[in-house]
Amino acid sequence: DAGVIQSPRHEVTEMGQEVTLRCKPISGHDYLFWYRQTMMRGLELLIYFNNNVPIDDSGMPEDRFSAKMPNASFSTLKIQPSEPRDSAVYFCASSLASGRNQPQHFGDGTRLSIL
């Protein structure tokens, strides 16, 4: 079974550049989540979608971050302009429910380094 697929696996770019992270959820899952993981803060939920609609974006750090889900099989997380403090591993996850009683399944992440 194909799991959650993220691309790119690694991204190194200079501050001020636009960064776009991509995610393909597991087919049939109607919830999609974007997380950020750092040593200092652990796993942080940035935003989640239900049936392609953003439900809660309270975790998005600031206006430089945006996320879209144009269809059930694709989502993007964009940072513009990027800053060094955005360096982290970004994970996408999908599930059959929001978290009430179904596990979220994670991709292998995008390791982002902003120089």
Q: Which two tokens stand for residue 93?
A: 């996850």
Residues 6+ apart with CB under 8 A from 100: none
Closest CB to other proteins among residues 17, 102? 102
The minimum distance between CB 67 and other proteins, in angstroms, equals 15
Nearest to 112 by CA among 53, 48, 34, 29: 34
Q: Does the protein bind other proteins through residue 93 (CB under 8 A)?
A: yes
Q: Does the protein bind other proteins through residue 16 (CB under 8 A)?
A: no
Q: Does the protein bind other proteins through residue 19 (CB under 8 A)?
A: no
Q: Does the protein bind other proteins through residue 88 (CB under 8 A)?
A: no
59, amino acid identity: G
Binding other proteins (rule: CB under 8 A), the pick from 19, 32, 45, 114 is: 45
